[in-house]
């Protein structure tokens, strides 16, 4: 019995097929629809790749630290919003800053990983995270 390729490999194959073989043979409207389809497949593939790294665990841990409560990500996020709205968490709290940076970077990594602004932000975050607190560059 043969093992099937991983889902991400299957998605990458269809994405490449659309970009390399289908799009060049289509008129402008059809090529646009094929490009949109390939981009959607790429987003789903990147999401699955990221989910395989269990980023949800890290997000849940950060939310537990921020809210003091355990639960689902949705429930913890709602609690985080309540704490921010009540003024109990403010933008100068380094834990909130870290959470916002990490979750935003994770979302853009799925949606637009080649976006130059994302690449710069990821580099800035890495430099910030790795620097001693006294030397933190301003983000």
Give the pLDDT of the chain (139 residues) as one tens digit per residue.
Answer: 567 678 889 999 999 999 999 999 999 999 999 999 999 999 999 888 877 676 677 888 889 999 999 988 899 999 999 999 999 999 888 889 889 988 888 888 888 888 888 888 888 888 877 777 666 555 5
Asked if residue 125 and residue 76 are part of one domain, the reply reads yes
Say if residue 60 is in the same domain as residue 118: yes
Is residue 14 domain-shared with residue 74, that is, in the same domain? Answer: no
The total of structural domains in the chain comes to 2
Look up residue 82 and give its two tokens: 């309540």
Q: Which two tokens stand for residue 139?
A: 């983000």
Examine the domain organization and report whether 118 and 72 are in the same domain.
yes
Q: In the listed set 15, 35, 53, which residue is the last one of a domain according to the structure?
A: 53
Q: Is there a single domain that holds both residue 32 and residue 63?
A: no
Same domain for 60 and 48: no
Indicate if 64 and 99 belong to the same structural domain. Answer: yes
Rounded (5°) CA angle 120-61-100 = 30
Range of the domain at 42: 1-53
Instruction: Judge if 106 and 137 occupy the same domain.
Output: yes
**What is the CA angle 17-114-129, rounded to 5?**
140
Same domain membership, residue 73 and residue 131: yes
pTM score > 0.75 for this model?
no
Question: Is 66 in the same domain as 103?
Answer: yes
One domain, residues 36 and 67: no
Question: Quick one: 44 and 60 in the same domain?
Answer: no
Locate 43 and state its tokens.
Answer: 């987003």
């Amino acid at each position: 019995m043969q093992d099937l390729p991983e889902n991400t490999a299957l998605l990458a194959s269809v994405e490449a097929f659309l970009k390399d073989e289908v799009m060049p043979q289509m008129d402008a409207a059809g090529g646009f629809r094929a490009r949109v389809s390939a981009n959607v497949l790429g987003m789903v593939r990147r999401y699955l790749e990221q989910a395989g790294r269990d980023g949800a665990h890290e997000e849940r841990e950060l939310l537990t630290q921020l809210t003091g409560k355990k639960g689902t990500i949705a429930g913890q996020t709602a609690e985080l919003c309540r704490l921010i709205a009540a003024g109990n968490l403010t933008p100068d709290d380094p834990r909130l800053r870290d959470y916002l940076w990490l979750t935003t970077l994770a979302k853009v990594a799925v949606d637009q990983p080649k976006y130059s602004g994302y690449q710069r932000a990821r580099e800035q975050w890495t430099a910030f995270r790795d620097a001693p607190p006294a030397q933190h560059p301003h983000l």
